[in-house]
């Protein structure tokens, strides 16, 4: 069985991505306007290059969608797929405010995705693959938790429960 799910950008991600891009592009472009940086020397590159590198570094981590197949969850990124084995999955549920009150401990907080490692009182430490805060799905294993978002969270959870693996049929 193979099920694919799109991961559209929510309004919050669209706005944060535009804002981050404009701010970083402005910082980079100011290197051309600042009188002291008009000559392309070390100071110019030190000022203009880091914002471009930050944007270029965030782009590959875009979450394009998800595929459930052969007992694994594939997270489709811009340039690669992240493979997450589903063996031992204890629960999958739609949790409307799963990321509320979360702190990012390592990762990207709004430049083209909300991805990386996060922590919250309700979930503890977890890994996020989120484009839309309004459609989160929480996956729990004994040793880890993952939060993701897709266009149809209910269908995603139903697909996990339909898998042949007995662990995925657990409701709790």
Alpha helices (H) along the chain: 11-33, 42-58, 153-162
Q: Does 14 have pLDDT greater than 60?
A: yes
Can you tell me the distance from the alpha carbon of 83 to that of 86, in angstroms, rounded to the nearest whole number?
9
pTM of the model: 0.86
Q: Are 84 and 112 in a shared domain?
A: yes
Residue 68: other Cβ atoms inside 10 A? 21
Average pLDDT, the chain: 90
With the C-alpha atoms ordered 84, 166, 135, 126, is the resulting torsion angle positive or negative?
Answer: negative
Q: Are 88 and 42 in a shared domain?
A: no
Q: In total, how many domains does the chain have?
A: 2
- Given pLDDT bands bounded at 50, 70 and 90, which one contains residue 40? low
Q: Are 67 and 45 in a shared domain?
A: no
The range of the structural domain enclosing residue 135 comes to 63-169
Q: Are 74 and 151 in a shared domain?
A: yes
Average confidence (pLDDT) over 4-18: 97
Q: Are 25 and 38 in a shared domain?
A: yes
Q: Which are the contacts of 63, defined by CB distance < 8 A and separation ≥ 6?
A: 7, 75, 76, 77, 113, 115, 129, 130, 131, 148
């Amino acid at each position: 069985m193979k099920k694919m799910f799109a991961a559209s950008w929510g309004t919050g991600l669209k706005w944060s991505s535009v804002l981050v891009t404009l701010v970083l592009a402005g910082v980079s472009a100011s290197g051309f306007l600042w009188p002291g940086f008009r000559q392309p020397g070390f100071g110019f590159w030190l000022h203009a290059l880091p914002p471009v590198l930050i944007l270029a570094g965030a782009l590959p981590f875009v979450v394009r969608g998800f595929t459930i197949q052969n007992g694994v969850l594939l997270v489709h990124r811009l340039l690669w797929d992240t493979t997450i084995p589903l063996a031992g999955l204890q629960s999958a549920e739609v949790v409307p405010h799963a990321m509320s009150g979360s702190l990012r401990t390592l990762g990207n907080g709004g430049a083209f995705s909300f991805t990386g490692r996060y922590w919250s009182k309700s979930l503890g430490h977890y890994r996020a693959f989120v484009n839309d805060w309004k459609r989160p799905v929480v996956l729990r294993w004994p040793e880890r938790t993952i939060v993701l978002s897709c266009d149809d969270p209910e269908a995603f959870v139903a697909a996990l429960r339909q898998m042949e693996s007995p662990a995925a049929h657990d409701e709790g």
